[in-house]
């Protein structure tokens, strides 16, 4: 795949790139970076995936092979559920990290986000990349006068524009992915809700301030916003934060597997 020239020549010295650098070392599970490496390897632009849904089918095929190794068999519902959650976590996770750590909202357009699929046996998302300098911020942001910045009035306005941008990306995903899987649109939008709620929560946990991550989730999802399926479902149970998932990954259909603790089928 060919990297567009404007992606190849990005400089990691803009305010949003510096925000990415500050949080990049916080997570041991997923690489977070600004721009793509010279050797793309298994990196995909989100726009490429949405424009060619067969890439989702290839991704699910690789996942099916891993599930067979792990559980003895695969399931169309499970591969659809895993990939659904992994993909939506790209935009939800990055948005949550920058909102929590810098009160900045990046571009969430599919052409401005990329992700890397792990090259080990389990083909999960192992890296997320932001490709655009543009961002929104608060009036007291030290980079508010930067040409790439757009200042909004307050935190509520910043949360609203993040939500709007995220929903636009999720809508493009639902349109591209729905014809390739046997999942209803409500399930797809439930997964989109989960990814935004979880992204804010995990950003707080990653940065060492879980309670603020929970508060961020409540700010981003204070109530149900169509076409999302619920407000934040974060709750404090037995001395720890958890949440009730709106969607299902369908792990429970695999031989010997149990439902997740946060599954809507079993969650307290």
Closest CA to 83 of 61, 67, 60, 62: 60
Return the CATH class of domain 5-232. mainly alpha
Closest CA to 166 of 83, 91, 247: 91
Confidence of residue 39 (pLDDT cuts 50, 70, 90): confident
pLDDT (0 to 100) of residue 4: 44
pLDDT (0 to 100) of residue 41: 81
Q: What angle do CA 244, 246, 248 make, to 5 degrees?
A: 100
Residues 263 and 242: beta-carbon distance below 8 Å: no
Q: Which residue, chain included where needed, has tokens 């939008």? A: 189
Query: Strand, coil or helix: what is 237?
Result: strand
The rounded distance, in Å, linking the Cα atoms of 194 and 217 is 10
Residues 19 and 101: beta-carbon distance below 8 Å: yes
pLDDT (0 to 100) of residue 266: 65
Total residue count of the chain as it appears in this document: 268
pLDDT reading at 6 higher than 60: no
β-pair partners for 236? 241
pLDDT (0 to 100) of residue 89: 97
Query: Strand, coil or helix: what is 243?
Result: strand
pLDDT (0 to 100) of residue 24: 83
Closest CA to 163 of 85, 108, 245: 108
User: Which tokens in the block code for residue 118?
Assistant: 């792990």
Query: Strand, coil or helix: what is 59?
Result: helix
Residue 105 parent element (H or E): strand 105-106
Residues 251 and 259: beta-carbon distance below 8 Å: yes
Closest CA to 214 of 237, 187, 191: 237
Query: How far from chain centre, in Å, is Cα 104?
Result: 16
Find the largest Cα–Cα distance for the chain: 57
pLDDT reading at 12 higher than 60: no
Confidence of residue 263 (pLDDT cuts 50, 70, 90): confident
């Amino acid at each position: 795949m060919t990297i567009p020239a404007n992606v190849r020549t990005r400089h990691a010295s803009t305010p949003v790139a510096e925000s990415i650098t500050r949080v990049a070392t916080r997570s041991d599970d997923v690489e977070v970076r600004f721009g793509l490496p010279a050797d793309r390897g298994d990196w995909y632009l989100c726009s490429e995936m949405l424009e060619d849904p067969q890439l989702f089918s290839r991704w699910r095929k690789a996942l099916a092979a891993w599930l067979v190794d792990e559980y003895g068999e695969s399931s169309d519902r499970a591969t659809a559920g895993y990939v659904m959650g992994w993909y939506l976590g790209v935009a939800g996770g990055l948005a949550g990290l920058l909102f929590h750590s810098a009160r900045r909202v990046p571009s969430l357009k599919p052409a401005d986000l990329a992700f890397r699929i792990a090259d080990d046996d389990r083909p999960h998302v192992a890296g997320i990349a932001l490709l655009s300098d543009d961002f929104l911020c608060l009036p007291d942001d030290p980079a508010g006068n930067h040409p790439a910045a757009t200042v909004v009035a307050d935190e509520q306005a910043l949360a609203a524009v993040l939500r709007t941008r995220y929903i636009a990306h999720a809508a493009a995903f639902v349109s591209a992915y729905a014809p390739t899987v046997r999942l209803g649109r409500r399930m797809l939008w439930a997964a989109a809700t989960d990814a935004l709620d979880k992204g804010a929560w995990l950003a707080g946990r990653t940065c060492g301030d879980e309670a603020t991550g929970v508060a961020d989730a409540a700010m981003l999802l204070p109530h149900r916003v169509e076409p999302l399926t619920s407000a934040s479902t974060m709750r404090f149970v037995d001395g720890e934060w958890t949440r009730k998932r709106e969607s299902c990954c369908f792990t429970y259909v695999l031989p010997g597997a149990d439902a997740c603790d946060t599954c809507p089928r079993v969650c307290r």
